[in-house]
Amino acid sequence: MGGARQAGPIRSVGLCLKPDASAAAEVARRIDKWLAERGVHVILDAEAGRWLHREGFARSFVAARADLLVALGGDGTLLSVAREAGTRPVPILGVNLGTLGFLAEVTPDELQGALEAALAGEHRLVRRMRFEVRVEREGAVICEALALNDAVITRSGSRMLDIETRTDGSAMATYRGDGLIVATPTGSTAYSLSAGGPILLPGLDAFVITPICPHTLTQRPVVLPGTSRVEMRVFPREAEAQLDVDGRESARLRRGDRVLVAGSEHPASFVVSPARSRFDVLRTKLRWGLD
């Protein structure tokens, strides 16, 4: 899942904006004009359409038709766009309008250069693994989702949660505490990092299981191969628990529910900034060597 060149010409670009962000609208106006002058068809999401006074469409519509998606906002906007793209392998270029993001690593000043490279077929992509997440209750599937960041099980009350965990059919551990995070390399710098998990580079075919405030301090994060299949059975000590996928899809879990997580055959493709390496991003965001 390392760097690769995009196959095929880019004839259409989808512009997706962070809601109520005037800075995103200003960048969108400039890029919309620049692309139109080069004969590129621009498809606007509803928010972009509102600011540019043209017809806008649902992001799922834009993602199904554009050859390249440009997400103007930040990491949250990019995650939302990736979710709407679903299993379609459309490349996504994330533009961060604030401080440098872990995912949206292109700045507005770098955007035109990144688009020039993309139109010339000279941009590079990183394919980031995703999870397929499924919840089963008494043999029936009650929830399915595709995760770019993580699948998080947490307690819904004040009492601890027991999560029996198996990997590839073998018993792994029963985690007792506030919950459990299963994160992709992309999600390793999100909630998992805050809970003490390791940083995984985005090209890795692996994921990490990170306990949240474990009752037993010897229960530490574990990195598994990307081919692993994780099964978690949930035993809340109160009525229910909670599953959140990428912080955008959720399900209430009852005692005995099974949460299954496995690598997806549909990775997400992101345009890599030509101006910096992954370690440049980490040094900037985490202030390595600056404190």
User: Tell me, what amino acid is at 100?
Assistant: L
Q: Read off the pLDDT of residues 199-210 as tens digits, 9 standing for 90 and up.
A: 998 888 999 999
Q: Say if residues 78 and 92 touch (Cβ distance below 8 Å).
A: yes
Q: Say if residues 211 and 238 touch (Cβ distance below 8 Å).
A: no
Fold annotation for 131-263: Tumour Suppressor Smad4 (2.60.200)
State how far the alpha carbon of 46 is from the alpha carbons of 25, 43, 54, 103, 183, in Å: 12, 10, 9, 22, 31
Q: Read off the pLDDT of residues 104-136 as tens digits, 9 standing for 90 and up.
A: 778 888 889 889 988 988 887 888 999 999 999
pLDDT band at 217 (very low <50, low <70, confident <90, very high): confident
Q: What is the pLDDT of residue 5?
A: 47
Q: How far is CA 116 from the centre of its chain?
A: 25
Q: Out of 3.40.50.10330, 3.40.50.2300, 3.30.1490.20, 3.30.565.10, select the CATH number for domain 3-128+267-286.
A: 3.40.50.10330
State the distance between the two ends of the chain, measured CA to CA, in whole angstroms. 33
Q: Read off the pLDDT of residues 35-65 as tens digits, 9 standing for 90 and up.
A: 999 999 999 999 999 999 999 999 999 999 9
- Average pLDDT, integer, range 65-83: 91
Q: What's the whole-number average pLDDT of the chain?
A: 89
The residues spanned by each domain of the chain are 3-128+267-286, 131-263
Question: 74-83, 94-103, 208-217, 231-240 — which is least confidently predicted?
Answer: 94-103
Positive or negative: CA dihedral 198, 183, 220, 169? negative
pLDDT band at 68 (very low <50, low <70, confident <90, very high): very high
Tokens of 3: 């760097």
pTM of structure: 0.86
Alpha helices in the chain (DSSP H): 22-37, 46-52, 59-65, 75-85, 108-119, 191-194, 278-286
Q: For residues 80 and 64, what is the distance between their CA atoms, to the nearest angstrom?
A: 14
Q: Read off the pLDDT of residues 3-23 as tens digits, 9 standing for 90 and up.
A: 544 456 899 999 999 888 888
Q: Read off the pLDDT of residues 139-164 as tens digits, 9 standing for 90 and up.
A: 899 999 999 999 999 988 788 899 99
278, burial (CB in 10 Å: exposed 0-12, middle 13-18, buried 19+): middle
Percent of the chain with pLDDT over 70: 93
Residues with active-site annotation: 75
Torsion of CA 168, 169, 170, 174, to 10 degrees: 100
Q: What is the pLDDT of residue 143?
A: 93
